[in-house]
Amino acid sequence: MLPLKRRSRQQLLALALAAQDVERRWLAEAVHDRIAQSLVGVFQQLQMLEPLAEPESPSRKLVVRATGLLREALGASRDLMNDLNPPLLDEPGLSPLIQEELHRLQDGTGCATDLAVEGERRLPRSFELAVYRIFHEALVNIKRHSRHIRRVAVNVVYEGDSVVLHILDDGGVAVPPGAERLAALEGVRLRAEIIGGTAGVSSSPGEGITVTISIPRPARSGRYGQ
């Protein structure tokens, strides 16, 4: 049985994660109902207006440009809703969500991506969501601070009482992580520490930079979101 102090801490973390999950779901619904729906309406109106303008006229060009901007805004709204409340987490689980993120990275940068999972099992949704957000933060850091990404490899290991993520990118090949990169990873480290985990970074010449995140699985007596 866990000591009282540790049980209390886990229970508080569980409540905090569950509350965050509820708030993020509400925000995702608010973005959909109050923003995305309005954007769709304006987009449809512009599509109806476009054929009425003379070809090659300034007004036609303005409508086409506005339609393009709205399409980008709708895409950004969908991405925001997915980030706030990832739909894939409801059924398939954490690994498909990580794979989807890697596909997005590959489509956006052209880099190769790999995912390996060992000993996978389902965990409480709030905990899986917390792990995903830590991974997402690490991936955002890679996109911002790796200069020439060619490959990103992720290894997720369910071992003992922990879930361990190894995230390797070769965007900084043979370049040790500098102060800027370490500062950027501070957000990853803090997110991990909130749920009792750790995060570190290492670099090997010719191998790139590896971020290692270790997160303890929730105990049965204090399960996240349960």
pLDDT at 221: 40
Residue showing tokens 């973005």: 31
- The DSSP 8-state label assigned to residue 35 in this structure reads I
Using DSSP, state whether 118 is helix, strand or coil. Answer: strand
Length of the chain: 226
pTM of the predicted protein model: 0.63
pLDDT band (50, 70, 90) for residue 172: low
The ranges assigned to domains in the chain are: 4-84, 88-222
Q: Which residue type, as a one-letter code, is found at position 209?
A: I
Rounded Cα–Cα distance for residues 139 and 169 (Å): 10
Higher pLDDT residue, 39 or 174? 39
Question: What does the pLDDT average to over 160-184?
Answer: 68
Q: Burial code of 59-73, b = ≥16 C-beta within 10 A, e = fewer?
A: ebeebeeebeebeee
When comparing pLDDT for 68 and 22, which is higher? 68
Which CATH number is 88-222's, of 3.40.50.970, 3.40.640.10, 3.30.565.10, 3.40.50.880? 3.30.565.10
Smallest CA-to-CA distance from 172 within 205, 150, 147, 151 is with 147
pLDDT tens column, 69-85: 888 888 888 777 777 77
pLDDT tens sequence across 186-223: 778 877 887 788 888 887 666 678 889 998 876 554 44
